[in-house]
């Protein structure tokens, strides 16, 4: 029961304050990884890769994955992992429903108010900052190993080469017309192949 209450509290808090979409949840998830044993920084990198490769919003996919892993690692049961996944996901989306219900009732009345317009103007740079912090945490997790003591080991060379190659390929004019799923499938296949050959 304690785990369920923890998931409700933590993911409700993330859903309430992670304005700007799924990537804005990453700083909160990194804080969870430091706080609880059922989530690690390596798992967050895997969550980003899986969530970006599967249908659905990034934040919800990540909450589902984190919730499942919390239940599975704590109880050792896939079935209980499903219940904790549902708990984390529902807790993440609940604040959005509550806030939208309140905002939809209030906004009609105060939409011409200068204070309301200024508040929304102030939110924009805050959201941009959250997304920038999330982008840096993804880059830091996937391309660098800041915990390494030797400077040369701080750079994850295979990941950096794959990242540079994909950036180059996806910006070639003839390939820009291809559907993003082609690049997602190619990236997943390349990651699996390199993982087995290099030993990620």
Question: pLDDT by residue (tens digit) across 154-190?
Answer: 887 877 887 888 888 888 888 878 887 888 788 778 7
pLDDT grade for 84, boundaries at 50, 70 and 90? very high
Instruction: Report how far residue 174's alpha carbon sits from residue 46's, in angstroms, rounded to the nearest whole number.
Output: 30
The pLDDT of 122-133, averaged and rounded, is 82
Tokens of 121: 């103007």
Name residue 144's beta-bridge partners. 155
Tokens of 187: 């990236």
Residue with the two structure tokens 């599967």: 54
pTM given for the model: 0.62
35-44, 68-77, 136-145: which has the highest mean pLDDT? Answer: 68-77
């Amino acid at each position: 029961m304690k785990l369920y209450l923890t998931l409700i509290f933590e993911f409700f808090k993330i859903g309430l304050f992670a304005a700007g979409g799924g990537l804005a949840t990453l700083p909160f998830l990194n804080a969870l990884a430091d706080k609880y044993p059922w989530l690690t920084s390596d798992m967050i990198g895997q969550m980003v890769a899986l969530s970006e490769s599967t249908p659905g919003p990034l934040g919800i996919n990540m909450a589902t994955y984190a919730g499942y892993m919390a239940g599975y690692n704590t109880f050792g049961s896939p079935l209980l992992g499903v219940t904790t996944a549902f708990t984390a996901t529902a807790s993440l989306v609940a604040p959005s429903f509550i806030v939208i219900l309140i905002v939809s009732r209030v906004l009609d009345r105060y939409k011409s108010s200068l204070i309301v317009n200024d508040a929304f103007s102030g939110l924009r740079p805050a959201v941009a900052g959250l997304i920038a912090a999330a982008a840096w945490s993804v880059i830091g997790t996937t391309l660098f190993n800041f915990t390494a003591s030797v400077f040369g080991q701080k750079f994850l060379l295979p990941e950096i080469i794959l990242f540079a190659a994909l950036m180059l390929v996806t910006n070639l004019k003839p390939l820009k017309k291809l559907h993003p799923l082609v690049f997602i499938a190619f990236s997943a296949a390349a990651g699996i192949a390199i993982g087995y050959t290099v030993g990620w």
